[in-house]
Amino acid sequence: MTWSSYDVGSAGYAEASAMADAFGKKYGTKVRIQPSGSSIGRLQPVVQKRADVGFLATEAFFATEGTEDFAAKRWGPQDLRVLAGRPSSFGMPTAKDANIKTFEDLRGKRLALVAGNPSLNVKCEGYISFGGLTFDDVEIVMFPTYAAGMSSIAAGQSDATCTTTTPSQMYELAESPRGIHWLGVPTDDKKGWDRMQAVAPYLGPIVETVGAGLSKDNPVEIVSYRYPVLIARADMTDEQAYNFVKAMDETFDMYKDATAVMPRWNLEQSGKPPADAPYHPGAIKYLKEKGIWDDQAEKWNDARLKRLKALQAAWETTMNEGKDLPDEKFAELWQKNRSAALASLN
């Protein structure tokens, strides 16, 4: 098999390597991992049938939505399916001295985002949507790099940002005079979750105990997304998808200790939505056999598949109407048709 992943040295590459090693030892499977530092570079081999599975990040969502890099004429909403995805937490760290205890407290505060990083910025947009806010309700401070954005709170250049819980800059903030506080999203706030998932349907709840300022005694309710999320084309056969997920399950004890987060690949966590795309029917078959896939998961998957099909139909209309338009006009037409397609689902 061939798998695509993030660069050598990344968490995604390390986790793909651990699984590939386990597959090789148990089944004699030969796996070649094809690393890439760009979202296109990771997804294109899967779409072009040069890779069987992609160990991807949020580009899987953008690709099925036809947004960001995938809004170009040669892309559009891709017919992709999820096999499994490791939960990774994501939240909003704030300066403790900024006294941001609620989303209303966030209004008018300085929120650090990162230029050219839609993965972070879209999740952040979804996060504040939970509290009924938009980017217009805060003062956006845009930074040129991830490191600069994450360091900006401790430096007094911003009051909040969005990130995972373990970057070094968050530990530095926790030890700084400003201190750290994570703005939580209660799991029982259904309306808040509806607002968030309207922007980013791949986000789900998690109680995190690992990270800057966090512990088992000081947990926080934040969001989870899937990284890596294992993506295949929709035309992967049900048998292939079933066998892949079964192999993940049967070799779990062989790779679960490879990194600190590998235990989260157990199917009780990695085999449940939400995720960046609909789950593959072959994967669902195995998850049902294991008693993991339930009615709630089925309801989410049906809605996610309906959304994908609506966007693909809107893309076909856009291509028919605007294939000869210049890029800027085509983008306007696609945004109009895409918004109408999503509105029709409500």
Cβ distance 70 to 76 under 8 Å?
yes
pLDDT of residue 145: 87
- If DSSP codes are grouped into helix, strand and coil, which group holds residue 215? strand
pLDDT of residue 10: 80
Is 90 exceeded by the pLDDT of residue 261? no
- Give the rounded percent of residues in the chain with a pLDDT score beyond 90: 89
- Rounded CA-CA distance 277/268 in Å is 18
Here the tokens at position 5 are 């992943």
- Mean pLDDT over the full length of the chain: 95
pLDDT digits (tens, 9 = 90+) for 220-256: 999 999 999 999 999 999 999 999 999 999 999 999 9
Backbone phi, then psi, for 141, in 5-degree steps? Answer: -115, 110
146 pLDDT band, cuts 50/70/90, is confident
∠81-84-90 over CA atoms, to 5°?
105
- Rounded CA-CA distance 339/213 in Å is 39
Q: What is this structure's pTM? A: 0.87
Beta bridge partners of 230: 55, 84
pLDDT of residue 39: 85
- Rounded CA-CA distance 17/325 in Å is 44
pLDDT digits (tens, 9 = 90+) for 281-327: 999 999 999 999 999 999 999 999 999 999 999 999 999 999 899 99
DSSP classification of residue 216: T
Is 90 exceeded by the pLDDT of residue 7? no
Beta bridge partners of 222: 206
Mean pLDDT, to the nearest integer, of 8-15?
Answer: 86
CA distances to 16, 213, 253, 303 from 166, rounded to whole Å, are: 21, 10, 25, 32
pLDDT of residue 38: 84
pLDDT of residue 117: 84
- CB contact set of 266 (below 8 Å; sequence gap of 6+): 252, 256
Is 90 exceeded by the pLDDT of residue 167? no
- If DSSP codes are grouped into helix, strand and coil, which group holds residue 115? coil
pLDDT digits (tens, 9 = 90+) for 60-78: 999 999 999 899 999 999 9
Is 80 exceeded by the pLDDT of residue 346? no
In sign, the C-alpha dihedral spanning 132, 137, 142, 147 is negative
- Give the rounded percent of residues in the chain with a pLDDT score beyond 70: 100
161 pLDDT band, cuts 50/70/90, is very high
pLDDT digits (tens, 9 = 90+) for 179-230: 999 999 999 999 999 999 989 999 999 999 989 999 999 999 999 999 999 9
pLDDT of residue 316: 97
Q: Amino acid identity of 315?
A: W
Helix, strand, coil share of the chain (percent; to 5): 45, 20, 35
262 pLDDT band, cuts 50/70/90, is very high
Q: What is the separation of C-alpha 41 from the centre of its chain, rounded to a whole number of angstroms?
A: 17
- Rounded CA-CA distance 71/315 in Å is 10
Going by C-alpha positions, the residue among 192, 171, 174 that lies closest to residue 102 is 192
Beta bridge partners of 143: 114
